[in-house]
Amino acid sequence: MAPPQGQMRPGRQLAVLAGLFVVLYLLVFFTSGASGSFTDRLHPRLGLDLVGGMRMTLVAQGKAPSAKEMEQARQIIEARVNGTGVAEAEVVTESDTNIVVSIPGSNTADLEDVGQPAQMFFRKVLNVTEDYSEALKAATATPSPSTSASANPSATPSTSASASPSASTGGQGGGAAASATPSASASPAASASTSPTASAKPLSQTQVATLDEVKKKVGENAYKAAEALTAPVDLQTDPTAATQFEKFSTLTAQEVAVLPAKIQFNVPQVGCEALSKRPVGSISDKNAQAVACSGTTKEFLDVAKVSGTDIGSAQAVPPNGQTAEWIVSLKFKGDGQDKWTNLTKESVNKTGATCEQAALGDKGNCRVAVVLDNTIISDPQIIEVLTSDSTIQGNFTADTASDLANKLNYGALPVTFVANEAVHVTATLGQAQLRAGLLAAGIGMLLVAIYAFFYYRLLGSVIFLSLILSGLLTFGALVWLGRTMGFTLTLAGIAGFIVSLGVAADSFVIYFERLKDEIREGRTPRSGVQRAWVRARRTIITANTVTVMAAVVLYLFSAGAVKGFAFALGLATVLDLLVVFLFRHPIMAMFARTKAFMSPRVSGLGRVLHQQNEDEDSAAGEPRRYRAKEA
């Protein structure tokens, strides 16, 4: 009696399904960062619309940037977002033009500027000083001698190599020195003026307004005194400064940004933390001198004579015959090369704005800082006048060298990102939406189950069980994918799952209707189940393929919440196929062996037979053009 399609072995398929379950939930509980209590491990990642938070979609304006540029832009934006002090911010690229910033919880952080184009400049380092602000905060009024390392900040101010000016760029790959051959530098004459020459940067309208506020905040006298400073205050020789400028430590990053560069540099209370959090574009005026930090060293920088857009390309070069370690080679384009040559000439010959003794490199030449946004990413000493391609050397590793090369290449990304969508969802609203979503899913499932029981009687339990199984599989996959792939469940995702209920329900409708046909034709339940399965399988696969195709296309080519919807729909449809193959069919095959299967009261299939004869009689009286009957 066994059909040639092969003897059904329901047990085997069920075992495979059980195996899948065990594997999935083992993954859920024991892999990829599962931690915490039993319930903690079962938490899917919920989207911000369900837990509350803020989401902002930044869209690149103009021509779509390349993938590398996007990644660099993402890093820059991430740095800017983190710079505003928010916690757990997540910055991801989405499609080829969008960058999505998600910040859970509540905050009103001003992220308006994070999409501004990144500015990169090459500025000569005129002076350096250690950042004492932390120490001052720690030791409030009295400056402890131990913290103030120096009357002379330049002479190895701190123990950490990365903070030493000559080695520079903590975190960015160690010290750097330009070019190969050291040239015996001429004219070490520390020329006359000690005070930084060019004046404070031009103040825009809004900045003037706040500058007055800042003056008020720090006190008119203190501000005047700060303005009068010509060099960084040495706390050892002038202990009163700690109290005199105390108010400066209360300034926010925005307020610090409006201070003239000279004051930012000279007042010890202005620390690197505040400086690096200045709003984006605070030091983007290339004709103004500026202050920026490299590690914990405050550097006073000259006007920008070369900008990032002058860079042709930068490349990380692995150790070879000529160099013993990783270096970064740098090419300039067009007149960028001339500007660069002039800047290096100035640095080597000590012309132009004077580099203070403290700011000089170990070869006695000026250093040039590469400033990205508000931070110095590298500040190599210029060893010789560079008329062609240049190299930056330091204690680079493969990673740090390519990191710097990337920054040099794409850091000056002239792309503006505009916040096209910004959504704040309160925690209460998030909870309400989560509840509503789950409720809708619950109602959907219930309605489908009721319908199934009504229509297919006890066979409804098979449907119900498969829905439950699909649900469990989906949930496990959700938790696991959330941890490994970062898939977050959003409201739209819940909607996707709800829609997939319809797809799942449909696949059993197809199957059962086929089965009904087979039974009506007088097949035994056992062979009917097998035959109905073979025929329905084809249809189910075709139909589900279409749904999955729609989901995949949507996922790949859409933006925003749609992605979550498409992913959920696709995932649920695939899992539904799995359940159809590994659960519904074997269970039906087992069920078909029981006597109750054909009972009208039990299965809802028997009804087809019950009235068959009666129908044959009545059919005669009805003129029908076609006889609708399984053929």
Partner 1 sequence: MSKTGLATRLYRGEAGLNIIGKRKVWFGVVGVIVLLALASFFTRGFTAGIEFKGGTEITVPASVGTLSDVQKAVGEEVAKIGPEAKVSTGQRLGGSTPSYKVRTTPMSNEQANQIREALAQKYGISTDDISSSVVSGAWGQQVTQKALTSLAIFLALVTVFLIVRFEWRMAVAALASLAFDLIAAAAVYSLVGFEVSPSTVIGFLTILGFALYDVVVVFDKVQENTRSITGSSTQTYAEAANLAVNQTLMRSINTGLVALLPVGGLLFIGAGLLGAGTLKDLGLVLFIGMGTAVYSSIFFATPVLVTLKELEPRIATHTQRVLARRAAGPAKAAAPGTPAQKATEPEMAGAAAPRPGARPAGRKPAGGKAGGGKGVRPGAPKRR
| From 253-261, 329-337, 383-391, 425-433, span contacting partner 1 (CB under 8 A) | 425-433
Type of residue found at 510? I
Binding mask 51-90 for partner 1 (x = CB under 8 A): -x---xx-x-------------------------------
C-alpha closest to that of 403 among 595, 186, 172: 172
Residues from 128 through 147 that contact partner 1 (CB under 8 A) = none
| From 85-93, 102-110, 222-230, 370-378, span contacting partner 1 (CB under 8 A) | 102-110
Q: Which residues of 291-313 are buried (b: 16+ CB within 10 A; e: fewer)?
A: bbbbbbbbbbbbbbbbbbebbee
Least Å distance, CB 618 to partner 1, is: 5
Q: Is 254 in the site for partner 1 (CB under 8 A)?
A: no
- Looking at 148-222, which runs of residues are DSSP E strands? 177-178
Least Å distance, CB 501 to partner 1, is: 4
**Judged by CB, which is closer to partner 1: 180, or 553?**
553
Contacting partner 1 (CB under 8 A), which of 415, 569, 587, 589?
Answer: 569
Q: How far is CA 249 from CA 151, 246, 485, in A?
A: 21, 6, 43
Distance CA 400, CA 407 (A): 10
**Judged by CB, which is closer to partner 1: 30, or 626?**
626
Is the separation of the CB atoms in 184 and 383 below 8 Å?
A: no
Residues from 451 through 470 that contact partner 1 (CB under 8 A) = 451-452, 455
Q: Which residues of 83-107 are buried (b: 16+ CB within 10 A; e: fewer)?
A: bbebeebbbebbbebbbbbbbbeeb
Q: Is 625 in the site for partner 1 (CB under 8 A)?
A: yes
Q: Is 613 in the site for partner 1 (CB under 8 A)?
A: yes
Residues from 573 through 602 that contact partner 1 (CB under 8 A) = 598
Burial of 502 by CB count in 10 Å (0-12 exposed, 13-18 middle, 19+ buried)? exposed
Q: Is 206 in the site for partner 1 (CB under 8 A)?
A: no
Phi-psi region of 523 (alpha: psi -120 to 50; beta: other; left: phi over 0): beta
Least Å distance, CB 621 to partner 1, is: 7
Q: Is 422 in the site for partner 1 (CB under 8 A)?
A: yes
Contacting partner 1 (CB under 8 A), which of 275, 360, 473, 503?
Answer: 503
Is the separation of the CB atoms in 371 and 365 below 8 Å?
A: no
Q: Is 247 in the site for partner 1 (CB under 8 A)?
A: no
- Looking at 143-270, which runs of residues are DSSP E strands? 177-178
Q: Is 624 in the site for partner 1 (CB under 8 A)?
A: yes
Least Å distance, CB 587 to partner 1, is: 19
Task: Give phi and psi for 138, each to the nearest 5.
Answer: -65, -45
Type of residue found at 485? M
**Judged by CB, which is closer to partner 1: 200, or 440?**
440
Distance CA 427, CA 440 (A): 20
Is the separation of the CB atoms in 351 and 397 below 8 Å?
A: no
Least Å distance, CB 222 to partner 1, is: 30
| From 159-167, 241-249, 438-446, 478-486, span contacting partner 1 (CB under 8 A) | 438-446
Contacting partner 1 (CB under 8 A), which of 12, 137, 538, 593?
Answer: 538
Q: Is 402 in the site for partner 1 (CB under 8 A)?
A: no
Contacting partner 1 (CB under 8 A), which of 33, 205, 237, 626?
Answer: 626
Q: Is 553 in the site for partner 1 (CB under 8 A)?
A: yes
Least Å distance, CB 627 to partner 1, is: 4
Positive or negative, the CA dihedral 253, 215, 119, 393 is negative
| From 30-38, 205-213, 325-333, 515-523, span contacting partner 1 (CB under 8 A) | 515-523
Distance CA 300, CA 369 (A): 10
Q: Look up residue 315 and give its two tokens.
A: 């490349």
Residues from 463 through 502 that contact partner 1 (CB under 8 A) = 491-492, 494-495, 498-499, 501-502
Cα dihedral 533→534→536→541 (10° resolution): 110
Instruction: Count interface residues toward partner 1 (CB under 8 A).
Output: 111
Q: Is 547 in the site for partner 1 (CB under 8 A)?
A: yes
Q: Is 419 in the site for partner 1 (CB under 8 A)?
A: yes
Distance CA 122, CA 251 (A): 28
Q: Look up residue 109 and give its two tokens.
A: 């952080």
Distance CA 265, CA 231 (A): 8
**Judged by CB, which is closer to partner 1: 399, or 513?**
513
| From 143-151, 213-221, 409-417, 522-530, span contacting partner 1 (CB under 8 A) | 522-530
Q: Which long-range contacts (CB under 8 A, 24 or more apart) does 519-525 make?
A: 519/598, 519/605, 519/606, 519/608, 519/609, 520/608, 520/609, 520/612, 520/630, 521/630, 525/592, 525/593, 525/597, 525/598
Q: Is 110 in the site for partner 1 (CB under 8 A)?
A: yes
Q: Is 545 in the site for partner 1 (CB under 8 A)?
A: yes
Least Å distance, CB 432 to partner 1, is: 5
3-state secondary structure 530-559: HHHHHHHHHHHHHHHHHHHHHHHHHHHHCC
**Judged by CB, which is closer to partner 1: 122, or 456?**
456
Q: Is 395 in the site for partner 1 (CB under 8 A)?
A: no
- Looking at 455-556, which runs of residues are DSSP E strands? none
Q: Is 399 in the site for partner 1 (CB under 8 A)?
A: no
| From 231-239, 243-251, 583-591, 622-630, span contacting partner 1 (CB under 8 A) | 622-630
Contacting partner 1 (CB under 8 A), which of 315, 524, 578, 600?
Answer: 524
Contacting partner 1 (CB under 8 A), which of 143, 437, 460, 476?
Answer: 437
Q: Is 202 in the site for partner 1 (CB under 8 A)?
A: no
Least Å distance, CB 459 to partner 1, is: 13
Distance CA 19, CA 395 (A): 52
Residues 6+ apart with CB under 8 A from 240: none
- Pairing of β 177-178 and β 381-382: parallel
Contacting partner 1 (CB under 8 A), which of 558, 574, 590, 599?
Answer: 558
Contacting partner 1 (CB under 8 A), which of 151, 521, 593, 596?
Answer: 521
Q: Is 537 in the site for partner 1 (CB under 8 A)?
A: no
Contacting partner 1 (CB under 8 A), which of 247, 339, 424, 537?
Answer: 424
